[in-house]
Structure 1
């Protein structure tokens, strides 16, 4: 953990619970499902992966999340929240149908249980006799502090001020607790008792995230995934004092505050990721117009739609991979009504060590087919600022702005705003015969790959609408075209260019470069770019190969 990074605080908080579950239950015959999986490191160490745990989240090593193909003890693969109750219930119903006598345990946090999907699972389980045990790990924090009325309810339960109307019992669960989640003997005793009770039941335990490491207990947000730290002292590594380009999330966060001070109609929305999205800056400075809605992506999107109907300018910031959970709401509640919601998709492209569940490599594909939706991919920090500025001035359609995890490349990024023309591409380099069309930060790799090559390079910027005027010019003046994107090659930017060529009967040679049609595992972004052929060296080889190729080959 100290040297390989990862999710520290959550796993420290469930050490006693992890030991107790594996002691009391006959895993993996009895099936244990961890919600999200942030807290499953102890589980992995206890279930045969101690000797390889040093490979955690490394390319070719074990995953940072439970993964069915990795161990029979990982009964359900996870990475996003609030799936554990539904999965455990599905397993329990299957066991009953097969005549099996086994237990099914779902461990879910107080932030995750507030999600709609968790309540759907509770609602169904409560009218079955399925042998399901839900363990509510209540520490009042997910990645950021938990929010909402349910959080307040659980706080009242812990303080013994909630005397009546137990919400869990009202859903036909056998409720027990709250108990101390760090008292190993107490947990074991209660789990042994619950083993004898049939049907749906819920054990409410109180834990401290980061338990046992004073720094992690004191700063639970920072130590959720703290990066590298001193294994002996627990202190974080001191970062360089060198001035670095900003993180894209911070460009979003600071720019939003700047714009919101000028435009009183702007509001910010995030589903439980104020720190990760940097909406926290607006929450600090303009709290009445910044909303953390909890782990509720569907609600976040429709909330933004409702605000847009009343003339507000909602910036709805959701990680690319999490927005998939609100697909119906994007179509039905935003796009069909053509409401000018501004979606800011953080963590697009390959995100690194979190792996397949977190890579944002499908957004261009799943968004491009939606009518009325504009899709913009900024090449750098200034482009991100300018499209945010342009969008809040008023658009006739909703817009999705997707940008990557990590730092940009500009120190002098906070420049005066300028308006971006919707659907307008830019030419970065003029050459002959071969044109490379890139989207977003892939422009940097293309520039590195082709600095000494006689090619044209275009930053298309908009995946929808395409700049058809410049495309006609490109196809008429270049015999070969390469498209480059950090999205799946299926159905995204390259596919849009192929469609354009087919519609207009262009016969140019076209090569589509992007994420291969498979799930990409965990590793550093640099390693994964090399693995998928998106690094500068790989792109250079592919460009040179097409340059050498005759049109008749």
Structure 2
């Protein structure tokens, strides 16, 4: 069967095992050829080819619900559901998404971009099915890295309690993005296969008569079977959540996968199918990758494995710049430590880990845990730096607010991939962090316009005794050979007067500041450009100066407007001009007390409202 001829997954159900193996080879070749041109998630999709084929052979999409954790490994699913002709548009505007996308196909029943959501979603579908007395299978595919996420463990606990019929395919490739770490990973590696248990279970069901005597005998043998099961597979993690278990099975053996999926389909209640795969299978560079380099790739040369685009000699990625600055600070201060939630490669912290192995902590896919742990480390006398992608920091908002902000702890947060990231779409655009962080008391939020300012902000952050966030975008910028550090006054902005008679004021931040200045010079314009390198606190003195110039002000921001830099400027402008009178809780945490007493203390009681109205009415 030709890949481009597949319009519906039902077409593969009549293929022989040999034909399915050929199809798997063809799909791998197709993926390598296409992703080498478009970029995308390569290793994870190469590793799941046979699993996805077997799933569509045994189950019937879209009636049966197939949920891929994170969704980045759904490329094979897309091919088998008739989307192969669109792969040239992968991750491009109006093209094929790199994740499951409900608007793209009825075969995509769930959307994700972050780890560890599949089990909760699967249980939700199972509940909806049972409450509405419908009949379909629910299958969740989750990798070993995602299984260690707190949300997955919460879902497993509930799934074990509710005992609803669903299938969890545990894709065990011993690696998520970076190498897996932690207690759950160690527990998983203890799981062993039990051929005796599996064959005994099937033989008992087939051979015993379906009468009273047979039922009693089945109970006895089932008890023996469960004891054998417990002893041979070392009471693995899943049994502790009250889940039945099959496996492990070779994740690249289609007949074996079909057999175990069919057995799981007949099972009542939740069951885990443990599948062992090789991430990156079929492409040697991806197979040999131990650090996650081939997890998500840009276009590359298939023969050499080298990226087609290389950075200019005088440029580095923002992640590398921050990492280099952190290393220099760590050399001078033994209390500086680095933390990452499974993004050591993406955040360019591998060099730090090599230089300071005892001061580097990869806590796995657990952003919430990373932030709270960093807070306690700071109370213990260390100076933690936590690197988290903007998109993933959303998951740790509670910890940023409750644990860092409220206790005013000196933790430095590197917000990587801030702003638009492009290809990965809605789930990964880092455009919300300014908005959701600005409301947190005690927190400082900044962004450098260039490498020099990045080093200085990093230095300033470690010299400050408050939670300090430095956001920086995907991409690269020019660097100098020497790294030196200077303190920046907290909340200060930079002003650039271009030309003799400015006609407007542009307030912006990040790399766009220099681009704006360059464009103004290039076109012989006269303007004032402001580098608003702090979003919180803002430079109120400069704002006042700018307002007094009575020039049109343009706030140019590349993140969401609501709650962003423009909101901060408008709030302060209104504070000065007082056109709109605002009563609310100021930028601090509210202590305990009765609601009535707290309203009065914060001047948000009705008496304060009408007193304010009367005061301004008299003016």
Same fold (TM over 0.5): yes
1: CA distance, partners of 2:416 / 2:140: 29
Matches of 1:134 and 1:181, distance apart in 2: 14
Deviations for 1:64-112, whole angstroms, at most 9, x for unmatched residues? 0111111111111111100000001001100100001111111000000
Name the SS for the 2:552 alignment partner. Answer: strand
Which residue in the other structure is 2:44 paired with?
10
Cross-structure match for 2:135? 101
Question: Aligned partners of 2:253, 2:246: CA distance in 1, in Å?
Answer: 15
In 2 relative to 1, CA 343–237 (structure 1 residues): closer, same or farther, beyond 3 Å? closer
Who is 1:165 aligned against? 235
Match of 2:527 in 1: 455
1:523 alignment counterpart: none
Give ranges in structure 1 of 5+ residues lacking alignment. 508-553
The reply on whether 1:243 has 2:313 as its aligned counterpart is yes
Q: Is the 8 A contact 1:435 1:478 kept in 2?
A: no
Kindly provide the CA deviation profile for residues 355-379 of structure 1, in whole angstroms up to 9, marking residues without a partner as x: 1111100000000011111111111
Are the equivalent residues in 1 in contact too, given 2:190–2:234 (CA < 8 A)? no
User: Which of 458, 479, 484 matches 2:551?
Assistant: 479
- In the alignment, what sits opposite 2:293? 222
In structure 2, the CA distance between the partners of 1:307 and 1:237, relative to structure 1 (3 Å rule), is closer
Change (3 A) 1:238 1:327: closer
CA contact (8 A) 2:188 2:236 kept: no
Kindly indicate whether residue 483 of structure 2 is the aligned counterpart of residue 415 of structure 1: yes
Q: Do 1:37 and 1:79's aligned partners in 2 also have CA atoms closer than 8 Å? A: yes
- In the superposition, the TM-score normalised over structure 2's length comes to 0.79
Q: Contact 1:84–1:107 (CA<8 Å) still a contact in 2? A: yes
Residues paired across the two proteins, number: 504
| Compared CA separation, residues 57 and 234, structure 1 to 2 (3 A) | farther
State the Cα distance separating 1:506 from its structure 2 match.
7.7
Q: Counterparts of 1:20 and 1:196 in 2: how far apart (Å)? A: 16
Measure, in 1, the Cα distance between the counterparts of 2:497 and 2:140: 55
Name the CA distance, whole Å, in 2 between partners of 1:183 and 1:241.
41
CA contact (8 A) 1:319 1:346 kept: yes
1:460 deviates by 1.5
Displacement after TM superposition at 1:129 (Å): 2.7
Where do residues 87-98 of structure 1 align in structure 2 (5 Å cutoff)?
A: 87-98=121-132
Aligned to 2:616: none
Looking at structure 2, the residues matched to 276 and 365 of structure 1 have their Cα atoms a distance apart, in angstroms, of 24
Alignment of 1:276-287 (within 5 A): 276-287=346-357
Give 1:518's aligned residue.
Answer: none
1:335, distance to aligned residue in structure 2 (A) = 0.5
Q: Indicate which of 361, 366, 375 corresponds to 1:305.
A: 375
The counterpart of 1:503, out of the listed 575, 588, 597, is 575
Superposed CA offset, 1:279-314 (max 9, x none):
211111101111000000000000011111112111
CA contact (8 A) 1:434 1:478 kept: no
1:396 to 456, 459, 465: 465
Per the TM alignment, residue 198 of structure 1 is displaced from its structure 2 partner at its CA by 1.5
Going from structure 1 to structure 2, the CA distance change for 1:179 and 1:436 (only over 3 Å counts) comes to: same
- 1:492 is the counterpart of 2:561: no
Structure 1, residues 463-512: CA drift from partner, whole Å, max 9, x if none? 111111111111101321111112101111011101111110188xxxxx
Residues 424-468 of structure 1 show CA distances to partners (whole Å, capped at 9, x for unaligned) of: 111123452421111222213322442322110110211111111
Task: Choose between structure 1 and 2: higher helix proportion.
Answer: 2
Q: Deviations over 1:519-538 (max 9, x none)?
A: xxxxxxxxxxxxxxxxxxxx
Q: C-alpha distance in 1, partners of 2:169/2:407?
A: 41
Q: CA RMSD in A?
A: 1.7
Please tell me whether the aligned partners of residues 251 and 381 of structure 1 are also in contact (alpha carbons under 8 angstroms): yes
Shift of 1:197: 0.6
TM-score, normalised via structure 1 length: 0.88
1:19-53 Cα offsets, whole Å, 9 max, x none, are 00011001111000000122111111111101111
In structure 2, how many angstroms separate the alpha carbons of the residues matched to 1:454 and 1:242? Answer: 32
In the alignment, which residue of structure 2 is the partner of 1:467? 539
User: Any conservation in 2 of the 1:20–1:187 contact (CA below 8 Å)?
Assistant: yes
> Partners in 1 of 2:59 and 2:122 — Cα distance?
15
Structure 1 residue 157: Cα displacement: 2.1
Contact 2:388 2:416 in 1 (8 A): yes
Match of 1:405 in 2: 474
Contact 2:188 2:237 in 1 (8 A): no
| 2:459 paired with 1:383 | no
SS, match of residue 417 in structure 1: coil
| Residues 456 and 241 of structure 1: CA distance in aligned 2, closer, same or farther (over 3 Å) | closer
Q: Which residue of 2 aligns with 1:42?
A: 76
Runs of 4+ in structure 1 deviating by more than 6 angstroms, as ranges, are: 159-162
Offset at 1:413? 5.7
Equivalences for residues 25-174 of structure 1 within 5 A: 25-157=59-191, 163-174=233-244
How far, CA to CA, are the matches of 2:36 and 2:570 in structure 1?
A: 47
Given that 1:153 and 1:162 are in contact with CA atoms closer than 8 Å, whether structure 2 keeps it comes out as: no
CA contact (8 A) 1:10 1:209 kept: yes
CA distance in 2, matches of 1:98, 1:20: 28
For 2:97 and 2:67, locate their aligned partners in 1 and report how far apart those are by CA, in whole Å: 16
| Contact 1:475 1:506 (C-alpha < 8 Å) held by counterparts | no
1:108-162 Cα distance to aligned partner (Å, 9 max, x none): 0000000000001101010113221111100011111111121122223259998
Unmatched 5+ stretches in structure 2: 1-34, 195-230, 580-619
Tell me the alpha carbon deviations over residues 327-365 of structure 1, each in whole angstroms, 9 at most, x when there is no partner: 111111110111111111000000111111111000000
1:510 maps to which residue? none
Identify the residue that residue 446 of structure 1 maps to in structure 2.
516
Out of 416, 425, 435, the residue aligned to residue 493 of structure 2 is 425
- Seen in structure 2, the aligned counterparts of structure 1 residues 162 and 463 have a Cα distance that, compared at 3 Å, is farther
Kept in 2: contact 1:432–1:478 (CA 8 A)? no
**In structure 2, C-alpha distance between the alignment counterparts of 1:311 and 1:438, rounded to whole Å:** 36
Rounded Cα–Cα distance in structure 1 between residues aligned with 2:177 and 2:314: 25
Note if contact 2:299-2:308 (Cα within 8 Å) is conserved in structure 1: no
